[in-house]
Amino acid sequence: QQPVQSPQAVILREGEDAVINCSSSKALYSVHWYRQKHGEAPVFLMILLKGGEQKGHDKISASFNEKKQQSSLYLTASQLSYSGTYFCGTGGSGGSNYKLTFGKGTLLTVNP
Amino acid sequence: EAQVTQNPRYLITVTGKKLTVTCSQNMNHEYMSWYRQDPGLGLRQIYYSMNVEVTDKGDVPEGYKVSRKEKRNFPLILESPSPNQTSLYFCASSLWASGSSNEQFFGPGTRLTVL
């Protein structure tokens, strides 16, 4: 079953912050985040493993709450280059890519 | 240059005509996978392979076949394509099948239209 992402779309002005949520109805072992710009292939952002860890990548960070079965992606001081569709994927234990199930995506638009 | 390549990039075919989409990676990756992307549905995994001769079904395997005879290649075969297989297809690979930095590298995509 696909994880549920919210919001489906968000529009920001440059410099604003955003949060994208990813929820699963089943137990989470790992959450994989990717970004896809229009007309391009998805690009890896980070993987979070079971254990409630947080990770950072430039001004993009994420948290993983296994009790709530959800992960959140935080985009701070957004830049024009952050525009794209963000996908979360739920994978197996240890960050495995087996049976990786992605959500439907969140379209992020950053305007000047 | 380290990359995942797919061929063809665009294909228009007719129902029932067998086709193969090739995928090749030059990074000596163990793991490879196929996804399809449809508007409003996100990325859905079709098949994956943990190593040579080891493959398994993803979420939407019906109507597709794969093989992994060599480490670098992972072709996707549609024996009898139907219009509902019209989609954008991505091949991806990663060094290992699991790990905390287990980045998947995606190919450029193949846009398939089945008439």
Greater model confidence, A27 or B83: B83
- How far apart, in Å, are the Cα atoms of B22 and each of B8, B70, B107? 7, 12, 11
A92 touches chain B (CB under 8 A): yes
pLDDT at B111: 98
Residue B100, pLDDT > 70, answer no
Spatial contact of B97 and A97, defined as CB atoms under 8 Å apart:
yes
Give the nearest partner residue to A99 out of B45, B90, B109, using CB atoms. B45
What percent of chain A has a predicted confidence (pLDDT) above 90?
Answer: 66
Give the nearest partner residue to B48 out of A95, A98, A104, using CB atoms. A98
Nearest CA in chain A to B4: A41
pLDDT in tens, A70-81: 999 999 999 999
Closest CA to B111 of B84, B87, B92, B91: B87
Three-class secondary structure of residue A31 per DSSP: strand
Report the residue count for chain A: 112
From chain B, pick out residues whose CB is under 8 angstroms from the CB of A87: 42-43
Return mean pLDDT, chain A: 90
pLDDT at B52: 93
pLDDT in tens, B19-38: 999 999 999 999 999 999 99
Strand partners, B77: B20, B65
Buried b (16+ CB within 10 A) or exposed e, B71-106: ebebbbebeebeeebbbebbbbbbebbbbeebbbbb
CA distance B1 to chain A (A): 17
Nearest CA in chain B to A89: B43
Mean pLDDT value across residues B58-77: 97
- From CA B23, how far away is CA B46, in angstroms rounded? 14
Closest CA to A2 of A21, A16, A22, A20: A22
